[in-house]
Structure 1
Amino acid sequence: MKTLTALFTAAALALGANAAFAKDVQPDEVVKLVNAKTIKSLDELKAAAVAKHPGSTVTDSELEDEYGRYIYKVELRDTQNVEWDVALDAKTGEVLKDERDN
């Protein structure tokens, strides 16, 4: 029983530590990153996300710094009212995740 408790505790700490390394990028920093061509413009990234689900609407978005990699996360609602989570590499525009939101 103690082993099981220790495993659950270790797993919880590992998950919590992983989440702690992703931080939201503030709007003034976003402008600097776009101007320096470190990341694509947010309009370009939103368009790339919407292209995965034509006709969808962006309901939320945020730019995060995850271990020094900028990830743009977009929540979409498509024409059938299905919600999607799309994550893109903000530097390249590559789609990293495209999953139906549960």
Structure 2
Amino acid sequence: MINKTVNPSWRAALAAFLLLASWILKAELSHEEALHLRQAGTVLPFEHILTFALNRYPGALLLESELERKKGIYVYKLELLTSSGIVRELKINAGNSELIKDELDD
């Protein structure tokens, strides 16, 4: 007969693992999480990232922005409407403002 009881310390360890795994797999961050990361100096101010993007596309308008965690790094995802009417999607490293991707948005 199999013993179906689980040691309480294993339950706690499993719960902690599942909580950590859900945090790691979560892509988009909340406003509160973004503020905490900014205050901790983990990510650059959004204004810095937006200035970088608008210098790349002068006259563009910001349509959407998100802060995500991908492959262990924080990434700002921006959608811009350029002055020529084209929508671009930019992915920018939130820690150092390095451009990761710049492509037409579909």
Range of TM-score over shorter length: 0.7 to 0.9
- What's the secondary structure of 1:54's corresponding residue? coil
Identity of aligned residues (%): 28
The answer to whether the aligner puts 1:81 opposite 2:82 as a matched pair is no
| Cα pair distance change 1:22/1:81, threshold 3 Å | farther
Partner of 1:95: 99
Q: Is the 8 A contact 1:21 1:67 kept in 2?
A: no
Question: Counterparts of 1:31 and 1:41 in 2: how far apart (Å)?
Answer: 9
Paired residue type of 1:69: I
Task: Verify the 8 A CA contact 1:22 1:67 in the aligned structure 2.
Answer: no
Moved over 6 A (4+): none
User: Does 2:43 correspond to 1:42?
Assistant: no
Q: 2:71 aligns with which of 58, 64, 67?
A: 67
- TM-score under structure 1 length normalisation: 0.76
Give the gaps of 5 or more residues in structure 2: 1-23
Show CA shifts across 1:19-56 (max 9, x none): x9451011001111111110001111111111111110
TM-score by length of structure 2 reads 0.73
The equivalences for 1:1-40 within 5 A come to: 21=25, 23-40=27-44
Superposition RMSD on alpha carbons, in Å?
1.5
Structure 1: give runs of 5+ residues left out of the alignment. Answer: 1-19
Q: Which has the larger radius of gyration?
A: 2
What SS does the corresponding residue of 1:79 show, helix, strand or coil?
Answer: coil
